[in-house]
Amino acid sequence: MPGLTIGDPLPNLEVETTHGPIKLHDYVADSFTIIFSHPGDFTPVCTTELGAMAAYADKFSKLGVKLLGLSADDVESHNAWIKDIEAYCNGCKVTYPIAADPHRKIIKELNMVDPDEKDSSGNQVPSRALHIIGPDKRVKLSFLYPASTGRNMDEVVRVVESLQRAAKHKIATPANWKAGDAVVISPGVSTEQAKEMFPQGYKTAHLPSNKPYLRFTNVD
């Protein structure tokens, strides 16, 4: 998709939020950070999503991950909406900041503009986008959903855990991987290197090609 995408540096924007003004690079600091946009305050799917983010906040915190919401509404609207979000999610608290973008500048910088949807005044609205930013201030992963489809928070947790393991070890995670499952050793790691890097051992899948490229191991 055009604009900010995987591998790109995060623009160091200053944004107004429900927690006051913040600079994105200062906020990310040396942590993984999830920046997620929603089409509008006081809308049904968005209310469930921000409620789910609030419910998962402790889980993300234990992973060392920060959260930052965003929409084109102003801070006053966000603060009023938070009461609905917290009531919907049975009193869990919205502890993360929500950024305001009433002039639609930030969503353009962050590639979070819905290509089709407009508000009642004909202005562009945010897409249902999510960027995972690494400690190096670069985009590691992006999701883009249509307005009709809410995110799966378990999948967001899963990919964060995958990215963190890949950043720590020379591994990748296979299809349907989840925390605790075996990972695969990167193909650029030789057999000699694999023995040294993964003293816990690994298993090589036997394939018709007889090529030993599919190697499974376990890492923390």
- How much is the pLDDT for 2? 52
Give pTM, 2 decimals. Answer: 0.93
Measured torsion, CA atoms of residues 131, 136, 137, 142, in degrees rounded to the nearest 10? -10
The answer to whether 146 and 115 are in contact (CB under 8 A) is: no
The two tokens of residue 22 are 């913040």
What would the mean pLDDT of 172-180 be, rounded to a whole number?
97
- How much is the pLDDT for 142? 96
The answer to whether 147 and 128 are in contact (CB under 8 A) is: yes
For residue 220, pLDDT beyond 80:
yes
DSSP label of 9: B
- Average confidence score pLDDT of the chain: 94
Token pair 């469930």: residue: 48
- How much is the pLDDT for 1? 41
Catalytic residue among 4, 15, 34, 46: 46
Question: Between 2 and 18, whose confidence is greater?
Answer: 18
Look at residues 36, 10, 27, 215 and name the one whose alpha carbon lies nearest to residue 143: 36
Mind listing the pLDDT tens digit for each residue in 33-66?
999 999 999 999 999 999 999 999 999 999 999 9
Residue 80, number of CB atoms within 10 A of its CB: 12
pLDDT band at 20 (very low <50, low <70, confident <90, very high): very high
What would the mean pLDDT of 84-108 be, rounded to a whole number?
94
The answer to whether 144 and 10 are in contact (CB under 8 A) is: no
Token pair 């915190």: residue: 61
Q: Which domains does the chain have, with CATH numbers?
A: 14-151 (3.40.30.10), 169-217 (3.30.1020.10)
Q: Which residue type occupies 177? A: W
> Is residue 89 among the annotated active site residues?
no
- How much is the pLDDT for 74? 96
Mind listing the pLDDT tens digit for each residue in 104-158?
999 999 999 887 777 777 777 888 999 999 999 999 999 998 888 999 999 999 9
Sign of CA dihedral 114, 117, 118, 120: negative
What H or E segment, with its residue span, contains residue 115? Answer: strand 113-118
Token pair 């930013």: residue: 133
The two tokens of residue 193 are 């290197």
The two tokens of residue 194 are 């694999």
- How much is the pLDDT for 147? 81
